[in-house]
Each structure stands twice: as C-alpha cells, then as structure tokens.
Structure 1
C-alpha cells in the first residue's frame, strides 16, 4: 500500500508541475541572474524583448532579450540597453494582457445626446 501511494503521489506531482507550467507560463519564466555587461553586437540580433519587473512573481528587475530561441537576462540599468529599448520600442509588438479592457469615455454633444469614444 505504501509503495502504491508513493507512486501515485510521484505521478501526480509530475502531472501538476507540467500542467501548471502550461497554464501559468509567466510564473516559470523568471530571470534569476542578470548580466551587468552585454556583448558587442548582440542587440542587433534581438528578435523580441520583455521587461521583468521586480514587484511581481519575479523578484529581480531585468530585461529579457530573445535571440534565436534563447533568452538572455541583462540589467535594465545598462546605458546601452536603455538607449536601445527607447529606440526600438515601436519595432516590437506589445504583449496583450488578457482580461484587460479599454475604458470608454462618454461625452455629451451639444444636443445633450451621449456619444461613446475610445481613448
């Protein structure tokens, strides 16, 4: 009985870890170490980037650079990275946050009728 219980618990633990990673991918995508230097020419090959904030699930501020399917975590305080992100922020599409809706502004026209406009 004890061996069967241990086997079932082990299988359950593996199943839960794989399922939770697919359901919550951001929770398992944190940078744990960051580089304070960036190799020459690496910013030209970046396919996309994300900013990791230190106040959420991940407790370290970082910039995640994706190059050829791999990720590199660098400090957001590197002057070269700051300048590059400012220059290239419009080249990469922003990630949409699920469940977030835009606020509608309701204005009244001269006749007193209401008009809805998106911000």
Structure 2
C-alpha cells in the first residue's frame, strides 16, 4: 500500500510541476542568487542580457547574462556592468522586432506631413 501511495504522489508532483511551468513560464527563470563580482573578460563573451526586476514573480534584482547557452546572474549594482550595459543596449532582446512595414508607414506619414507643410501658405 505504501509503494502505491508513493508512486501516486510522485506522479502528481511531476504533473503539477509541468503544469505550473506551462502556466507560469517566467517563474522558473528567476535568479535565486547573484554574483557581486564579474571575472575579467566575461563581458566580452556575452551574447545577450536581460534585466530582472524585483517585482512580480521574481524577488531579486539581477542582470542575467547569457554566454554560450548558459545564464549567469549578476548584481545590477556593479559599476563595470552598468557602463557595459550602456554601451551594449543592442544586446537586450526585443519583444517585437521592427518590421519593414512599420518603417514604410512612418516614412510615408513623414512625407505626407512635409508635403502638407509645403502646401500651407
């Protein structure tokens, strides 16, 4: 009887963990510990980075550095990291990539606006 109970509990735990991960995908991507120092040369190998806020699901402010498929959680208070982040803003992943269509509509609107100014006395 005990073996069946343990098996059932194990299966329920597995199902619950998989279900909660699909419902809350960001909850399992939070940094739980951060490093307060960065080794030399590590910032040169960063492919992209994300800023983790201390609100919502994650309870710790951190900068997540992605290097060769691995993630490193670092304190956002490090002076060297702050300077590096300003220089490398392009390495922040965007939610919606800019499409060519959006750019065309902006250019068209700008041309119309300029034509309107020229026609006005």
Unaligned runs of 5+ in 1: 97-119
Report whether the alignment pairs 1:60 with 2:60: yes
Report whether the alignment pairs 1:78 with 2:60: no
Q: Would you tell me which structure has more helix in proportion to its own residues? A: 2
Figure out how many residues of one structure are paired with residues of the other and give that number. 96
Q: Could you report, residue by residue, the CA deviation over 1:12-57 in whole angstroms, capped at 9, with x for unpaired residues?
A: 1111202322342210111111111101111111111111111221
Q: Which protein shows a greater Rg? A: 2
Q: How far apart are the structure 2 equivalents of 1:92 and 1:54?
A: 18
- Structure 1 length normalisation: TM-score? 0.70
Give the ranges of 4+ consecutive aligned residues of structure 1 lying more than 6 Å apart after TM superposition.
none
CA RMSD of aligned residues (A): 1.9
Q: Would you tell me which structure has more strand in proportion to its own residues? A: 1
- Structure 2 length normalisation: TM-score? 0.69
